[in-house]
Amino acid sequence: MCAYEKPYWDKGLYVAGMDEAGRGPLAGPCVAAAVIMPPGCLIPGVDDSKKLSEKKRQALYALITSAAVAYAVGIVDNRVVDEINILNAAKRAFAEAYRGLEVMPAFVFCDKIGGIDIGTDYQEIVGGDRLCYSVAAASIVAKVTRDEMMRQYALLYPLYGFEQHKGYGTQSHRECIIRYGVCDIHRMSFLKKIIS
């Protein structure tokens, strides 16, 4: 998984990986992460966050954030998702995550998104979170960050079960929307078929 980073690491250069979590849910923010790992620092088990259990993701998150040269997250809330659409919201989250880095990388690898405004050279990789170590690390940071936000939202909106489905369109979540209506973190542009 380090083939993308190795040419840069061999020169002692930093590269960042970027990925996002939360493009598909009916509720909550879109969260992107940018992570710069030290050259040659390989944490066993780092992979596409979707392939990992929640417990494994949390354990890897702690290791990644402790070892990282720098990391940052970008968060775009549901209202902005409704205003500018989810693709543009994800691109904004990517840019915010990049701007939050305290160390600037020589190059950036990110999951395929279709163009981002970060002011530095980057390469998009289809399936980057399972092919590129730095992108996989970023996918874990983004996913764990978003999941924790959804657990906090569950305390504010206990009727919806956000701690379980994290805002995704599960049957139970859809039934809750029909039964209780929408709450402040729902993406109205995603709910047209449910609440029409």
Query: Is the model's pLDDT at 195 over the cut of 90?
Result: no
Mean pLDDT of 63-76: 98
Q: Identify the pLDDT of residue 193.
A: 84
Neighbours of 123 (CB within 10 A): 12
Residues of the domain holding 172: 6-195
**Does a structural domain hold residue 132?**
yes
Count: domains in the chain = 1
> Checking DSSP bridges between strand 15-21 and strand 107-111, what pairing results, if any?
parallel
**Does a structural domain hold residue 10?**
yes
Average pLDDT of the chain, as a whole number: 96
Mean pLDDT of 177-190: 96
What tens digit of pLDDT does each residue of 21-51 get?
Answer: 999 999 999 999 999 999 988 999 999 898 9
Helix (H) or strand (E) holding 36: strand 30-36
Mean pLDDT of 135-139: 97
Dist CA 93 CA 95 (whole Å): 5
CATH number assigned to the domain comprising residue 126: 3.30.420.10
**Residue 66's pLDDT band (boundaries 50, 70, 90)?**
very high
Q: Identify the pLDDT of residue 1.
A: 84
**Does a structural domain hold residue 1?**
no
Query: Is the model's pLDDT at 196 over the cut of 80?
Result: no
The pTM of the full predicted model, rounded to 2 decimals, is: 0.96
What is the total residue count of the chain? 196
**Does a structural domain hold residue 73?**
yes
Contact 18, 33 (CB under 8 A): yes
Q: Identify the pLDDT of residue 41.
A: 83
Q: Identify the pLDDT of residue 71.
A: 98
Dist CA 154 CA 75 (whole Å): 18
Say what angle helices 133-156 and 54-67 make with each other, to 10 degrees: 120
